[in-house]
Structure 1
Amino acid sequence: MGWVRRLILAELQWTFVKKQRIFRRMSSQVRLSLLPRARCMFDEPVQVKVAGLRSRQVVTLRARSTDEKGVVFSSSATVRADGSGRIDLERDPSLGGTYTGVEPMGLLWSMRSDTLHKRFQLYSSLNPYVVKFSVHEEGGGMLAEATNERLLIGDGVIRRPIREGNIRGVLFTPPGLGPFPAVLDLYILGGGFSEKKGALLATRGFVVLTVVAYGYDDLPKKIDEVHLDYFEEAIQFLRKQDKVGSKGVGVISISKTGDLALSMASYLQGVRAVVWINGCSANTLLPLYYKKSQILPALMLDLSQLIPTESGAFNIKKVLNDPGAEENEATLIPVERAEGRLLFAAAEDDLNWDSKAHVDMMVERLQRHGKDNFESVCYPGAGHCLEPPYGPYFPSAFHVVTGRVVLFGGEARSHAAAEVHLWKNIQEFFRTHLSCDATQTKAKL
């Protein structure tokens, strides 16, 4: 009977060899394409296409990336090829995975870590965001792969660390003679300091100073008060740059820096346009000083209002004291003093605080004072952390102020769509309201 076993074994080996040959031949025919190119800017979409599959073959598309802290994020989509063995994510729906339906960039925004409450850490503009795309047959065998290198800083943009006077941050200057509009990108704490927005805006034709108030470089690690004088110095520094042609500067802000940006527009000269994203209508957390005098007390937190959830993260939406309460009236920013244009962007599912209510409060105040220098946009289903588009969405992460993991809110698909719309809106807003004086700038050069 030994010869029978040897015959069966030989037949099985031959079958295995044939299957391997078929797999290698099939996998060599499968092509994964990233269009219009595999190397692009972070805020640019790519078209994901697959060719060379069997007619109506079901495969899994995957994306994988590692952040600056070494944490791996991944996503997947189960997709059926058409009759010609082709897949186009602009046309073909995901039948399952980390997202479903037709979402051309779903593999990017739906990436997540296996560990709960992780935020994709991407701070330096010098490090490209590298995403590995791959196609897998049922059973897991990889048929094709491609690498998407997503840049934060474009060709010719000059990045210069700044230590001028009291100012600490990074200056981004576009290539060319200009003149260019100037934008101040605000950060309070150095630990949350990211060059992403500044580098991308510079790539789109803005001179951007990304500036930090504390906890960065040789700045104090902790502060008990915020001084507008520091940001006034940053405005003056930015306006003196040779390629800057706008008569004033724009300010882009989010969360706590939102109320800081409004205070700058209300008390300082030279602020012509402010983008406020999911901020507050009152001065929060730290008292605000100008010329050594306190101009606004701080609206504080009530940590007894923390709500634990089953995920281990806390809901903190009600933690901030009510700025509309009579006892907190002194913390409200006199936004009616602002002469520049204001763009309010509020996520309706913000769980950090009630951004939509803060917008409504400011709009009512501005209208009461006869002001019309503002516009607002609200995003249903979006969460607190609205950033440049196509990064991994995160619903929860560590919150430095409360010292806990918290919910930031939002539904991934709606949040991703809001980021695409807002990022375009921001650039149009600044271009419209930061007009440049070409004659003045050429004279400088």
Structure 2
Amino acid sequence: MALLMRRCTNIFRINPLVRMSSNSAVRLGLSPASCMFDEAVEIKVSGLSPRQRVELHSELKDDKGLVFRAWASYEADGRGQLDLGVQASDSGTYTGVDPMGLFWSMKPDVPHSKFLKRDASIPQLYSIQASSGGQVLAREVNERHFMAPGVRRTPVRDGRIRGTLFTPPGRGPFPAVIDLYTLGGTLCEPRAALLANKGFMVLALAYYGYQDMPKKVDKLELEYFEEALTFLQKQPEVKQTGIGTVSFSKSGDLALSMASFLPNIKASVCINVSISNVLFPLHYKDMVIPPLSSKMKRITFTDSGIMDIRDVLDDPMAKENLSTVIPIQRATCNFLFLVSEDDRNWNSTYFAEQACNILKAHGKANYEVVSYPKAGHFLEVPYMPQHPSGFHAAVDQVVVFGGEPKVHADAQLDAWRRVQEFFKQHL
């Protein structure tokens, strides 16, 4: 309890200029006060004066100590009450009726920063406060968990394999998934943990730049991912009917390669991925798939001066680039391609179209594409703060990733539902 109190105290710094109300009858209600990260919260304020203007602010601090904030301005109803599920914000980081706007519309204090959660066993604390006329009227904490009761988190160091294994409560057997994130240096524990809550055994797998792994690489070996597949299949709680993969960005071509060359991949969710191998040569036994070439002269800049690299990569379907294309016609698994049409990292819409053309040309119908207009590259779990621009390791610069905030938030909700349904159907 002492630890929780210290953490709560540390995040109550939303606006140091406002004055605390000394004797307020205002009540800020969060229902539930403690919940899973992908669950919605009801936010209500009572005890206000009729038609009183009130501002709501939210704040969190991530595992790097970066602060993210959102705010919205409202008018109470004739009874002095406010319900974010009914009444509309007229200004702030979002407008309109949106009960979760104070979560998904958060922006970092340091521009271009991305929310980071290293350890999914530790819940994320959100401080919510209501204020009016420079006075804080009420504030509460929403504790958002990534792991449901009974889910186990086990760090993995097995041979070359590094990552984190999430196991649902019970004895199993459970359908199993390998979770691959983008470039090296961190793990996507939130998504893996939240999937474990739904009854899947999930290995969040690092592939470089993590712990004692090489910080930089000039090639990747598919044998490493084969070892991870073998490791997961050997777990006694795993259902022996095939493994799923969920991938995003650069990890997508690795997941497509796993499905094309390795046995027992049964279902593959591919989020804004490339049909070609990119960045590094991919080695497997005596085979090498070269990376797709690029042209830096195709870089453009936004009106605010941020680099836009969407069209840097060459056309993978051009004759001279076909050797970079992952031979997904070899795969026997089912594919779900989730595509953001405003992806500024690369043309993921075109890549998904070409992937489907390849499969169709080989007489296959084992694929589905879901496209999200105006969503950006970082399509993540629900209510995660959007990452519309940030540092890109491949170009060593800040780039734009795209996405209109509200539309992007809605896309994350829908995509998360589809990921679960797809794995339940095919695993």
Q: TM-score range by the shorter chain?
A: over 0.9
Partner of 1:83: 78
Match of residue 150, structure 1, among 144, 155, 175: 144
Partner of 1:141: 135
- 2:182–2:248 CA contact under 8 A, matched in 1: no
Match of residue 268, structure 1, among 247, 258, 262: 262
Deviation, 1:115, is: 2.9
Superposed CA offset, 1:261-307 (max 9, x none): 1111011101000000001111111111112x234211133223222
What is the alpha-carbon distance in structure 2 between the residues aligned to residue 247 and residue 142 of structure 1?
A: 56
What is the alpha-carbon distance in structure 1 between the residues aligned to residue 208 and residue 378 of structure 2?
A: 21
- 1:277–1:386 CA contact under 8 A, matched in 2: yes
**Residue type at the aligned position of 2:28:** L
Partner of 1:248: 242
What is the alpha-carbon distance in structure 2 between the residues aligned to residue 248 and residue 263 of structure 1?
A: 16
Q: Does 1:172 align with 2:166?
A: yes
- Bigger drift between 423-432 and 188-197 goes to 188-197
- 1:71–1:113 CA contact under 8 A, matched in 2: yes
Partner of 1:5: none
Name the SS for the 1:107 alignment partner. helix
- 1:396–1:405 CA contact under 8 A, matched in 2: yes
- 1:302–1:321 CA contact under 8 A, matched in 2: yes
What is the alpha-carbon distance in structure 1 between the residues aligned to residue 303 and residue 118 of structure 2?
A: 30
Name the SS for the 2:185 alignment partner. helix
Name the SS for the 1:192 alignment partner. coil
Name the SS for the 2:420 alignment partner. helix
Between the two proteins, the alignment pairs up a number of residues equal to 409
**Residue type at the aligned position of 1:325:** A
Q: Does 1:429 align with 2:422?
A: yes
Partner of 2:279: 285
Match of residue 362, structure 2, among 369, 376, 383: 369
Deviation, 1:30, is: 0.8
Q: Does 1:95 align with 2:90?
A: yes
**Residue type at the aligned position of 2:156:** I
Deviation, 1:123, is: 2.5
Structure 1: gaps (5+ residues): 1-19, 435-445
Deviation, 1:121, is: 2.0
- 2:372–2:411 CA contact under 8 A, matched in 1: yes
- 1:255–1:280 CA contact under 8 A, matched in 2: yes
**TM-score, with structure 2 as normaliser:** 0.93
- 1:335–1:362 CA contact under 8 A, matched in 2: yes
CA spacing shift, 1:150–1:54, aligned 2, 3 Å: same
Percent identity (aligned): 49
**Residue type at the aligned position of 2:30:** L
- 1:187–1:213 CA contact under 8 A, matched in 2: no
- 2:186–2:209 CA contact under 8 A, matched in 1: no
What is the alpha-carbon distance in structure 2 between the residues aligned to residue 95 and residue 187 of structure 1?
A: 37
- 2:246–2:269 CA contact under 8 A, matched in 1: yes
Deviation, 1:413, is: 0.2
Partner of 1:104: 99
**Residue type at the aligned position of 1:117:** H
**Residue type at the aligned position of 1:307:** T
Partner of 2:121: 126
Deviation, 1:246, is: 4.1
CA spacing shift, 1:246–1:103, aligned 2, 3 Å: farther
Q: Does 1:340 align with 2:336?
A: no
What is the alpha-carbon distance in structure 1 between the residues aligned to residue 29 and residue 87 of structure 2?
A: 15
Partner of 1:162: 156
Name the SS for the 1:213 alignment partner. coil
For 1:220-231, what aligned pairs fall within 5 Å after superposition? 220-231=214-225
- 1:285–1:301 CA contact under 8 A, matched in 2: no
- The structure whose residues are more often helix, as a share, is 1
Partner of 1:259: 253
The structure having more radius of gyration, on CA atoms, is 1
What is the alpha-carbon distance in structure 2 between the residues aligned to residue 381 and residue 189 of structure 1?
A: 24
